[in-house]
Amino acid sequence: MKFKKSVKPKKLHSINAVLIKYFLLLAVLLIVLVEVVCYLIVRNTAEDKARERLSLIGRNVAAMVNDDDVERQIREYRLDGINVCVLSSEGAVLLPGDDSAEVNLKYGIEDVITRLSDKGKSSVIFIQDHYMTYASAVEYEGESYVVATYSLAVINGAARSLLTYFIIVGVVVILITIMVSYTISQKLTSGLKNLSSTAVQFSKGDFDVNFANAEYSELADLSDTLNSVRDEVKKSGDLQHEIIANVSHDLKTPLTMIKAYASMIREISGDNPEKRDKHLQVIIDEADRLTGLVNDVLNVSKVTATLDEIKFKVFNLTDFLYGIINKFDYLQETQGYKFMVDIDSNIYTRADEEKIGQVIYNLLGNAVNYTGEDKTVYVSLKKSLTEERVRFTVKDTGKGIQEKDKVEIWNRYYRVKENHSRPLKGTGLGLNIVKIILENHTFDFGVDSEIGKGSSFWVDFPLVSEEIENSGGTA
């Protein structure tokens, strides 16, 4: 069997590419987020610390401005990178007295004074041109100010080098991400690729392939499903071969008979009316057999195709049943078959009359085919005493059906091998048609059988009262 290759929709992406893309995106996002957050935290924390320290130093110098020790203290602070001095309101350096050159004011003293008077506070701290400055008014030789400055270059430099480290780490993380996502996607897709190449083999008609993948549960489920699809396809292929063999065999026999009897009429019995009629009857019977066979094959696809089209209607099942039994009169007259009936009168049911006719016909036909030496078929239609239903039963006295076959016989094309002598045609489709129709009606049905004693096929019809006859519509 060959399957057509499906046309690929235009924009298909491989799992590998998609996985790597999303992994990368996630990694980059996380790295950027972590970097920005860390950078901000580090910078802000360092600045906060510097602010705290600067104002502590400023306050300390202001407090000891008149002490002898103040100059030594200021020098100590300077060694630590904090540039402290006391300035007069004109900007002259009052303390430390000896090294005014080291005063590193990025702005004039006026700026400090303005800021102090703008704030209305005794001290200010501010950042300008990468310098943090603390200033407060102090009483030292008249109006003067303690000014302490600290360069933020160190903090900014540290933050920048942190950023550089982060970029290096980021690149490493991205490389690792690519490797990991590639490995994962390879692992995931290798199973799929295996399944796909097995499927290609399968599509080329190799039904012995095995879809195997035990690594991931989802793929294992898919493999199981594909394996059962393989079995089903194989089975249906086998069935097709079998039915072709069966049908052609069944077609051949009547055709051979028709040809033989037609030749016989031409060469031998043409002038003998009695013999000729007998031979013509054989031809007619065989032609009927052929018609029945073809109908059966056609019917099975018809009932399957019209699953939802059950045309429910209320009808007299008793009369309907008698009508079908009468069709078998010719078998009673010509071949000695006996139909023993026990049918309740005036039973009404609601169903698709035409389809139920086919069910009954098939069951009666089978009973005739498979009944025993006594050629007797028992047909009954009995009301249930307890429920609103009526049971139709067809019983024969044949070989019976083995337990293992009781389920299989309802399947399409299934025929129990041993049974072959029969007056009616057989295709292995009859019971399948019965099953599909009754399942569509949701009627209960089944078979009871005892080996050597015969089989009894039954169907439970809903019992409806005569008054609502024809009031039912299409379901």
The residues binding ligand ADP (CB under 6 A) are 366-367, 369-370, 396, 398, 401, 409, 414-416, 419, 426-432, 455
- The region that residue 128 occupies, defined by phi over 0 for left and psi between -120 and 50 for alpha, beta otherwise, is beta
Q: Which H or E element spans position 147?
A: strand 143-151
Task: Give the span between the Cα atoms of 351 and 459, in whole angstroms.
Answer: 12
By C-beta, is 278 or 453 nearer to ligand ADP?
453
The least CB distance from residue 404 to ligand ADP, in Å, is 12
- What is the token pair recorded at 103? 């005063």
By C-beta, is 136 or 366 nearer to ligand ADP?
366
By C-beta, is 279 or 415 nearer to ligand ADP?
415
- What is the token pair recorded at 456? 């009894």
The least CB distance from residue 457 to ligand ADP, in Å, is 6
Task: Give the span between the Cα atoms of 147 and 149, in whole angstroms.
Answer: 7
- What is the token pair recorded at 184? 């994962």
Distances (CA, A) of 133 to 45, 100, 111, 136: 17, 17, 12, 10
Nearest residue to ligand ADP on Cβ basis: 430
The least CB distance from residue 443 to ligand ADP, in Å, is 18
By C-beta, is 357 or 428 nearer to ligand ADP?
428
Backbone angles phi, psi at 109, to 5 degrees: -65, -25
By C-beta, is 223 or 246 nearer to ligand ADP?
246
By C-beta, is 199 or 251 nearer to ligand ADP?
251
The least CB distance from residue 294 to ligand ADP, in Å, is 13
The least CB distance from residue 241 to ligand ADP, in Å, is 17
Task: Give the span between the Cα atoms of 446 and 449, in whole angstroms.
Answer: 10
15 touches 196 (CB < 8 A): no
The least CB distance from residue 202 to ligand ADP, in Å, is 30
Task: Give the span between the Cα atoms of 196 and 211, in whole angstroms.
Answer: 9
The least CB distance from residue 238 to ligand ADP, in Å, is 17
Task: Give the span between the Cα atoms of 211 and 223, in whole angstroms.
Answer: 5
By C-beta, is 24 or 416 nearer to ligand ADP?
416
A 10 A CB-CB count for 239 gives: 16
A 10 A CB-CB count for 172 gives: 10
By C-beta, is 213 or 427 nearer to ligand ADP?
427
Beta-strand runs (E) in 36-88: 82-88
Residue 464 per-residue DSSP state? B
The least CB distance from residue 394 to ligand ADP, in Å, is 8
DSSP track, 352-418:
-HHHHHHHHHHHHHHHHHH--TT-EEEEEEEE-SSSSEEEEEEEE-SS---TTHHHHTTSTT---TT
The least CB distance from residue 302 to ligand ADP, in Å, is 16
Q: What is the largest CA-CA distance in the chain?
A: 161
By C-beta, is 167 or 407 nearer to ligand ADP?
407
